Amino acid sequence: MLEKELPTCSAFESLTTLEIGEWFLTEDLYVVLRFLQLSPRLEELTLMHRPLDEGAEIDCMPIDGMTFRCPLLESVVIQCSEGDGGIDKLLSVLVVNGISLDNINIAFYDEIEKRDRAERIRADEERSKELRIFEKRVKRNPEWREYDPYAMSESDSKQSDDGFSDASDDY
């Protein structure tokens, strides 16, 4: 449906950031090129390539003679698996249309996953560190518990199974 509607789309005059994901970028460049033709103010572009399954075929729209102008395009990120064939063709099309290689960054999915995993580990360690610091401060400042309406006192934690306190002198 997208490929059928794109030829008649009007320009996306306000579009500055575009992300095209899970597409067979190297086998079918038409969608990418058409979006670039329709996005004269584009500043950031992220392309997430998905390789074609073995034996699968797609109907590609011809791209012969297609050009685009994106003078404001400062950043192109191409996400792909290492060794994906056809990325060179995509790069060539971008460079031929005036996108500098200095503005193109290729990120491999394995590296992205490793970076994301490292960031999650770092964030978890930071939260644990902050919690330990907070717990130490609470131990040094027991009066903080008195002002905390959610803090439980020792007598609150000594309740029987029916939910009532075991202390008989509470009244």
pLDDT (tens digit, 0 to 9) for every residue of the chain, 171 residues total?
566 777 788 899 999 999 988 765 656 688 888 889 999 999 999 998 876 666 656 555 657 778 888 999 999 999 888 877 778 888 888 999 999 999 999 898 888 888 888 899 999 999 999 999 988 888 888 777 666 555 555 555 555 555 554 444 444
Q: Is residue 149 part of a domain?
A: no
* Residue 85 within a domain: yes
Are the CB atoms for 69 and 129 separated by under 8 Å?
no
Question: ∠ at Cα 162 (161, 167), nearest 5°?
Answer: 85
In a domain, 38, yes or no: yes
Within-domain flag for 78:
yes
The C-alpha atoms of residue 27 and residue 86 are separated, in whole angstroms, by 7
36 within some domain = yes
DSSP bridge pairs for 106: 78
Total domains in the fold of the chain: 1
Residue 91 lies in a domain: yes
Three-state SS at 19: strand
The answer to whether 60 and 30 have CB atoms below 8 angstroms apart is: yes
Q: Which domain covers residue 99, as residue numbers? A: 17-52+61-109
Which residues are registered as beta bridge partners of 90?
A: none
Is 142 part of a structural domain of the chain? no
Is residue 10 domain-resident?
A: no
